[in-house]
Amino acid sequence: MEEHALEMFEVGPCETPHQMGFLIGRRFSRLIQSRLSRDLILRNQLLPWARAPESRPLLEALCEHNQTKFPRYWDELVGTAEGADVPVLDIVLINFRKEILPFIPDKETKSDLPEKAIECSDVLVVGESMAVAAHNEDANVALVGHTYLIKGTLSSGLCFISYTYAGELPSCAFGFNNNGMGFTLNAVPPSKEEIVASGIGRNFISRDLLEATSMTDATSKIRSAEASVGHSYNLIDLKARRICNLETASRTRVSVNEVDDTPFFHANMYLHLQVKQVEDENSKSRQKRAAVLPKKSKQDFLSLLGDTDDAKYPIYMSGPTLYTLCTALVDLDEQTLSIIKGNPKKGEVSHTFSLSSPDLKKL
């Protein structure tokens, strides 16, 4: 596995969303092309499915519904493909992989290429002495070395920082804007009957959250999204000193949990929204381990996210299949976002941003 320094690209304001996507695609064309060539889920599942005639109704409906609801973000997506000089279809498929994979017939799914909701762990607290969100960004090892930071500025003056997977919309991971709003994400595993075909994609919803103006606005964006599959959103409001965990499912189902002075850990199963879900021992193990670890300080939070006590299902992952790409630490009182490379117990901070700065200044 090759690790690379996490690069940041400052882009905008641009004349059009397509131009922003094009400039991102051109800047990171090498990483995007590399990711597409190595992504076995894309090569062995998504592309063969997309080339079959029976895939057309779902794929066309997904594209039409998301383009209609979010035309600016769709133009960004197309611009990214054109800037990177890769097929638009490939970029569409990796952005919709979560919405497509449940509908690929089992006989076409390779048993050695699982796409489960074993992605990311968060520990959150809002107390008198500390208000912190700490997040492990976990993914398939194929994503190692295939991520970057986008610092985007829109013509409206809105500025955002987004940790981005190569070729995907900012951000399927975590991000923050100069309205004082941010988020981290946890995958969740609704059972197949809970998923609605051709709904709105999670990448488009999280891209929309990068432009949220408040907790109320962010919650409204999630509630009105008509998502295809479920997700867990950790919304962070600096101005109000609040963190809320929202668990969502299709058919506009949402459950809101206000984070308080009792530390709240979230892995990759629903905790408070009543939804039929796929049982996952990895997530259960992390949840159980987190429950017994100290959570009284920021260093405790980082030690928790760096825990490897369970050799089979560690909280901090280092392969062979799953890998913790980085750890993000948001301190609501210091108003900073720090990105940590390596095990957060002792890892080095690669980037720190001032969230109180109008342009999210790098410290």
Residue 17 is part of which domain span? 8-108
pLDDT surpasses 90 at 352: yes
Share the mean pLDDT of the chain.
Answer: 94
Residue 215 counted as domain residue: no
Residue 267 counted as domain residue: no
User: Could you check whether the bond before residue 190 is cis, i.e. omega within 30 degrees of 0?
Assistant: no
Distance between CA atoms of residues 187 and 194, nearest Å:
15
Residue 25 counted as domain residue: yes
Structurally, the chain folds into a number of domains equal to 1
Residue 182 counted as domain residue: no
**Partners of residue 327 on adjacent β-strands:** 136, 340
Distance between CA atoms of residues 25 and 247, nearest Å:
31
pLDDT at res. 2:
54
Residue 37 counted as domain residue: yes
pLDDT at res. 117:
52
Query: Do 188 and 268 contact (CB within 8 A), yes or no?
Result: yes
Residue 190 counted as domain residue: no
> In the chain, what percentage of residues exceed pLDDT 70?
96
Question: CA angle, 80 as apex, 359 and 208 as ends, to 5°?
Answer: 55
- Alpha carbon 79 to chain centroid distance? 20
| pLDDT tens digits for range 166-201 | 999 999 999 999 999 999 999 999 999 999 999 999
Residue 68 counted as domain residue: yes
Residue 269 counted as domain residue: no
| pLDDT tens digits for range 286-321 | 999 999 999 999 999 999 999 999 999 999 999 888
pLDDT surpasses 80 at 106: no
Half-sphere exposure of 305 (CA within 13 A, CB side): 36
